[in-house]
Structure 1
Amino acid sequence: MSRRGTSTKPHNRFETNLYEKIDDWILPEEAEQKVKTMLIPTHPKSIVNPVSSPDISMDWSMNPYAGCEHGCPYCYARNSHEYWGYNSGEDFESKILYKANAAELLRKKLNTPSWKGDAIMLSGNTDCYQPIERKLELTRQLLEVAWEYRQPIGIITKNALILRDLDILKKMAEHDLVRVAFSVTTEDASLQRKLEPRASAPYKRLAAIKKLSEEGIPTMAMIAPMIPGLNSHELLPLMKAVSEAGALQARYITVRLNGHLRDIFSEWLMEHYPDRHSKVMNTIRDTHGGKVNAFRYGIRMSGTGRVSETMRQAYAVGQTKYFKHKKMPALSSEHFTKLKDRQMGLFD
């Protein structure tokens, strides 16, 4: 067993680039299985990118990694791996590109005259706390720069490794500079091990939400994706669980299978839940007007049809029962200061 999310290697529709293999990263528990991750350094010219989607609450994002070891077969970021010359299946999980100069690029961006400290989403594409972060610590370096400039950051993750950086997160939270969106998919450990093979277990995610909340770090739950016929029945119980753990807010997203995800996820279903394959795929189609993919802003996240309406109703009940008196504080740019401005202040 490779313990990867997929063994599929879809054909890349773009030209193939050549990269140099510099390292192999093996988790201790996988040493006997010889599961290797190729680490590939990149040196881009920028790391903060504008977000054009009206479905996303922040206008800027940054991603220290391309590709993700978590191995989730539903991950929308898989398709973007083809831009690097790799496939969206096995390559996405095992060939991880990292921005070696990430912290330097962020510092450069924050020092530009036009930058006013708008909130930046960390991990809009792949998880910034995926397993390789334990070794490379790029996310920690970015947070250190953000704290240095008092730059507000929103973090999205499904990995309890975030607790490693509590020391920085606590300082940032005191100035409304950080909030965390923790992805929670299921409380079923068996399903989670198959669906997200190298991500944190459900109990660890709930424990991480609890710890972050206790330390004063505003935390919300992204209950996503909801997969009809697989985990969608857990929406209301999950809202209860994350609220009790301390989450101040919850959002859900219905699965959509754009690009190669249709085949990757379909193959995953046949391997792990062959008896549910037809039902799950057909129900996903029902939520997106007869297709498994969805692109229309405004409805692509929640879908349409009877199943989607059932989830909307369950979510509304959960909002009333578990989040009625909770509020997520807004990120603040009030304290953002460029280093040169801070230094000039010494002479005031």
Structure 2
Amino acid sequence: MDQFHDIRPYNDDEVAEVLYNLVEMPDFINTIIGFRFAKWPKFLQAPLAFGVKLALKRQIAKIKNVHDFQMIVANYMERMIKTTTTNVEYRGIEKLDKNTGYLFLSNHRDIAMDPAFVNYGLYLSGLNTVRIAIGDNLLRRPFVSDLMRLNKSFIVKRSANGIREMMAAFGQLSAYISHSLIKDQANIWIAQKEGRAKDGLDQTDPAIIKMFYISQKKEKIPFSQAMANLKIVPVSISYEYDPCAFDKARELHQKSTTGNYEKAEFEDIDSIKNGIVGQKGKVVVTFGDVMKEDFETPEAFVAEVDRQIISHYAIHSSNKAALAIQQGLPSPDRVFSSYLDRCPQDIRETVLSMYANPLKQQQAYLAK
């Protein structure tokens, strides 16, 4: 029996059936129409749906396995990079061994783009693409779950209820990650904490590290050795401009003023779309050093992960400009000043903090 069947990515022999079912989902077809043909009149909905289904059926006929599907994703990535970035730079990727499976423990800014940029860098360098950890809160629509699992995503059951169900979910997740890395020699991407760092401050949640250890702890493997077995590589991702910055700021501002923020039903899906199509400026992905057997506790491990992620974070002109403005100095970047002019006044200070915080955090670490 496949103990990971409900959380793992789809296998090659499942791809054809999943794609066929996807094309027959009205919600999927309507979402594509809304994304690509939003300004077209409603009375054209039916012929557009017919045309989209026909085009998709022609495209999926060429897809026989996960690799074929990811090659189509790579083509979209190339187009997205050309239209929404000024440059994408990869640092430290030359240190990675093509024959080794790594656990990429990453800071988190964008729901879909963070693992996508890591994946694209690995693809360009001839390394295996990652299996991506994704929370089940993002999978409320069945077609989203199917698309993610076709793209080698596995599910983190954040909605588990009760201690017993939660511990069972953590145990299954830990076992899947260990199995992927140690047995399959696959690469894994997972964020350093649940949710994006909307305030621009990166910090690893010790619970993530403790979850990694659950499956190997059952085998009486010491913590330091267990972590070394997973070959964890801290990853820093930085965007010159965050397409979702104003939306994140509204959430933070509302929480700070009212104490509460209620997400719209499909708000995360909108964030994914905005992150893909929005302007990002320069993007830098930095791969740190493989974590060794030098850490006896999760807290010590977390401290080193944070040090690498924060110190390796690529600082952009937008970060410097935001900090200068906070300090009452003239902005050294006209582009950022123009960007800030488009920001609603009530969230302006929150947006400034989001961009200044990574630089402040890095300066504090380097001053230690």
Q: Which has the larger radius of gyration?
A: 2
The structure with the greater share of residues assigned to helix is: 2
TM-score (norm 2): 0.30
